[in-house]
Chain A
Amino acid sequence: MKRWGPYMMKQPMVWLLAALALSPLVAAESLYVHSAKASLLAAPKFNADILVSVEKGAELVLIEQQKRWFLVQFDDQTGWVSSLLVKSEPPLDKVSVIGSDAVEITGQTRSRASEVSTAGATRGLTESDASTDDGVSDYNELVEMEAISVPGEEIIEFADAIVRENGE
């Protein structure tokens, strides 16, 4: 009677199937959508059909990469997404340092480096820093520049003109 073990080990198909079965474990990698919306396209070209639209933060399984396009799987859909819209880490919340607790570091010339280690010191650059600098910085204008802010709804409205021209 043939012994199962050694017989099976000799069959190349068994090895091949085992390898292919293991391969997803080897290759699986996740990508996350960073733009507000991302479209999965039928082909890695801009004029391809849109298969499905996914939201920010959605997790996609990477299957293949071609230059600036990724072939991914979302739920049971497989499609191409532009590499600009995804990254391999989940999206972060907005980081803002403007208007955060601007700590004034006084007496800097006296303090030794090891003493200035509080969290406040990490926000050490404030407008007052301009005076300890060599005097060629203009923080006032910088603050004015930062004050210009476009609300989200406006951007959607703004896009109308672009979308309309695309449709023609």
Chain B
Amino acid sequence: MFRYGTAVWLFLGVAPYLFADAGRNINQIVGDRAIGMAGAYAAVSDDPSGMYYNPAGIAYSSSANISANVNTLQSYAITYDDVVAGEFDYVRDSFQVLPNFFGVIQPLGNYTVGFSSTIVDSVREKQSQTFSDLTAINVDKFVFNFDRIDTTYNVGPSVARVLDNKLAVGLSMHLHYRSAESISNQHIKFSAASGNNISWNNSYAEIKEVGIRPKLGLIWSPMQSLSFGLSADKTFLISGNLTSQVSACGTDLTNIGCQTQSDPSITATAFERDYPWQVRMGGAWFPSNVLLVSADLIYNSPTYDDSGDGVLLSTVDGALGVEWYWSPKWALRSGLYTANANTPELALGSINQAGHVDLIGATVSITRFNQGSSISLGTLLNYGQGQSQLFPTVASLLQTTTIVGGTVFFTTSYRY
């Protein structure tokens, strides 16, 4: 008879929760100029990055322009405190090289048209840890392997038009494509005293989403040097499919065969997901041709995600950015932003809770200009601390979760 004892973490049926770590609405900060300003871009947006933040802004671009985040080296570590035997930490690492934005805009008569390809969210997490001789809980060895990739793309055209010399309007029509995969494998070898032998669990889940994300923007300049931007969008899912499989087997010392097991068949289900309405409001002040100060406020409405965290709350995030030219050929950009969790705060005594970690981030970059082209190098750091419930069925266990991330980015743009 398979004794559960204190080895309570048996993750049968965990598949839907493989994606259930702390979610948020602000993920990748994209765009050659915007990333240096921490994404505070709704009222600026007058270059290809504008297609993502506020498509109306591209109407004010002075020329055709190609822009690319050539590479970002992104790394972060998530530490879940005291997971194993109340003592040891789970550490998940992520490292990826990610070209997360490409855009091109072109004035065309009274309109400006453009095309962009953006990675709005990308996760590449890995964990592989071995814990040995956990005598307090009768475990000789515990091996845990976890790997998760989750990438969301927005690809599509944009168009914008100046209505009069104070107002411009724009529209981006993006194809939303999300591809996510998660696999976890854990193997527990119990000590003889427990009467159990081995517990093995392997879970796999894959998500594919296809949708459309229209984004409408407005930019209003009530007076010289001041600009206000407003953009709103929502991702409408056309199809969402979840494929999952769980294999598990627990053996004890007295009987033959798996005493506990799960049906290892692959199940595929369609799911529905409601992405939030996102409204981004920003103001920018251009006091001179060397200084620019910009601030954004981003609201996301409450929603639900059947494939992941379930009910999601509304979030309000902010970003503040500044760009300063110390010479015609060199500029410095810096910014601060928040990426708050859209999951509810956790409470002891409840089960199936998703993680909740609010992040703050800071960016700084330096740009070199040369006859129509520019190249930037910068760094983005983020940090947050919150809580998770890695073992969804154990109401009494919550883990303090810390996320520390760093990105080095290298971007370029060219006007022609």
Contacts and interface: CB of A to CB of B under 8 A. Distances in A.
Complex contact flag A–B (Cβ < 8 Å): yes
A56 to B, nearest CB: 22
Interface residues of A, number: 4
B256 interface: no
Interface in B283-309: 287-288
A119 to B, nearest CB: 14
Interface of B: 223-226, 287-288
A25 B225 CA distance: 9
Contacts of B287: 25-26
A25 to B, nearest CB: 5
A26 B227 CA distance: 12
A80 B224 CA distance: 22
B284 to A, nearest CB: 13
Interface string A25-40: 1111000000000000
B290 to A, nearest CB: 12
**B interface secondary structure, majority:** loop
- Give the most central of A25, A26, A28: most B CB within 10 Å: A26
B150 to A, nearest CB: 43
A28 B225 CA distance: 10
Contacts of A27: 224-225
A26 B288 CA distance: 8
Contacts of A25: 287
A59 to B, nearest CB: 14
> Which 9 residue pairs are nearest across A and B when measured between Cβ atoms?
A26-B225, A25-B287, A26-B224, A27-B224, A26-B223, A26-B226, A26-B287, A28-B288, A27-B225
A4 B95 CA distance: 52
Nearest to B287: A25
Nearest to B288: A28
Interface in A22-56: 25-28
A27 B285 CA distance: 12
9 contacts: A25-B287, A26-B223, A26-B224, A26-B225, A26-B226, A26-B287, A27-B224, A27-B225, A28-B288
A13 to B, nearest CB: 20
Contacts of B223: 26
Contacts of B226: 26
A31 to B, nearest CB: 14
Contacts of A26: 223-226, 287
Contacts of B288: 28
Given A27-B224, A27-B225, 7 more contacts: A25-B287, A26-B223, A26-B224, A26-B225, A26-B226, A26-B287, A28-B288
Nearest to A25: B287
Nearest to A88: B289
A26 B226 CA distance: 8
A124 B292 CA distance: 41
A24 to B, nearest CB: 10
Nearest to A26: B225
